[in-house]
Structure formats: C-alpha cells, structure tokens
Amino acid sequence: MKTWILLLFMFAQTVSAEIEVYDFKDPVLEKRYQSLTEELRCLVCQNQNIADSHAELAQDLRRKVFELLNRGQSDTEIVDYMTDRYGDFVLYRPPFNFKTMILWLGPLLAVLLGALGYSRVVKNTKRSPDKASEDDLKAVQNLLDKE
C-alpha cells in the first residue's frame, strides 16, 4: 500500500513539472501573474485558462504575461494586449457591451420570466375554487348525490 501511495506522488510530481516556473522577485508581481493567467483563456484548448494549459500557445502567452509584468505594465494594459490580438474571447469574463448584453442579462431575464410565470400559476390556483363554474358545481353535486 505504501509503495502505491509513493508511486502516486511520483506521478503527481512529473505532471506538475510540465508547467514552467517563473521566478518573481516581487511576491505582488507573482500574485498578479497568477490571477492574470487564470483569467485568460487558452484558444487552443478552449475550456482551459492559460495557467492550466499545456498547449504551446498557452506557454507563449504565459511568457508574454511574465515579460509584460516585468516591464512594469498594468493589469489592464496586459489584458488589452491580449484582446487586441485574440479578441474578447480570450477573457473568461467578457466585458459588458452590446454584443455580450444577452450573455450578461439573459440569466436575469430568465429568472424574472420564471418568477412572473410562477406568480401567475400561484394566483390562479388560489382563485380556482371560487371561480368554479355553475356546471362544474352541478356535476360535483350530482356525483355526491349518487353516493
């Protein structure tokens, strides 16, 4: 059992070694690097951010983020650098604009529509006993009389 656990750890190490490590002198810069690479999408494997991806493009983009950070660029400057080349799609959090309006407001709209539908259904079920038609009442009465 112990050997198995040890083996598992060995594999875990080889896997994590595939993503290169950058040396930061400033821990603040390192934090910014981490949050930036987590926010940027890898365009090759589209459901991964560039921090997690092994794709060559992700490596290039990580190096670029590292370079630009060391050149003293701000987070917005770095994000702009990426969107200038790859478009808003490179961002995991797309900006709010006309094109992305339905993306941002769609869920809210769906909740509102659902709430509206629900409230109407609730209202109708509450009201239904009073609203029963003469014919229905007669039919019920007939059934009860038969008993």
Partner 1 sequence: MSMRNWIPLVFFLVLVVFLGIGLGLNPKEVPSPLIGKKAPDFNLAQLHQPNQTFSPEQMLGKVWLFNVWASWCVSCREEHRVLNDFNQLQIAPIVGLNYKDEPLDAINWLNKLGNPYLLSVSDSAGKAGLDFGVYGVPETFLIDKKGIIRHKHIGPVTVKALQEEIMPLIAQLNQEVN
Residues that bind partner 1 (CB under 8 A): 43-44, 46, 56-57, 60-61, 64, 83-89
Q: 68-77 burial, b if ≥16 CB within 10 A, otherwise e? A: bbeeeeeeee
Is residue 18 within 8 A of residue 58, CB to CB? The reply is no
Helix (H) or strand (E) holding 120, with range, is helix 101-131
CB of 118 to partner 1, least distance (A): 14
SS3 53: coil
Q: CA torsion, points 129, 130, 134, 135, in degrees to nearest 10?
A: -20
The answer for residues whose C-beta is within 8 angstroms of residue 75's C-beta and 6 or more apart is: 32, 36
- To the nearest whole angstrom, how small is the minimum distance from the Cβ of residue 46 to partner 1? 6
In the complex with partner 1, which residue's Cβ is closer, 14 or 133? 133
Q: How far is the CB of 42 from partner 1 (least distance, A)?
A: 8
Comparing CB distances to partner 1, the nearer of 87 and 96 is: 87
Q: Which is nearer to partner 1, 89 or 92 (CB)?
A: 89
CB 94, min distance to partner 1, A: 12
Closest to partner 1 by CB, 31 vs 85, is 85
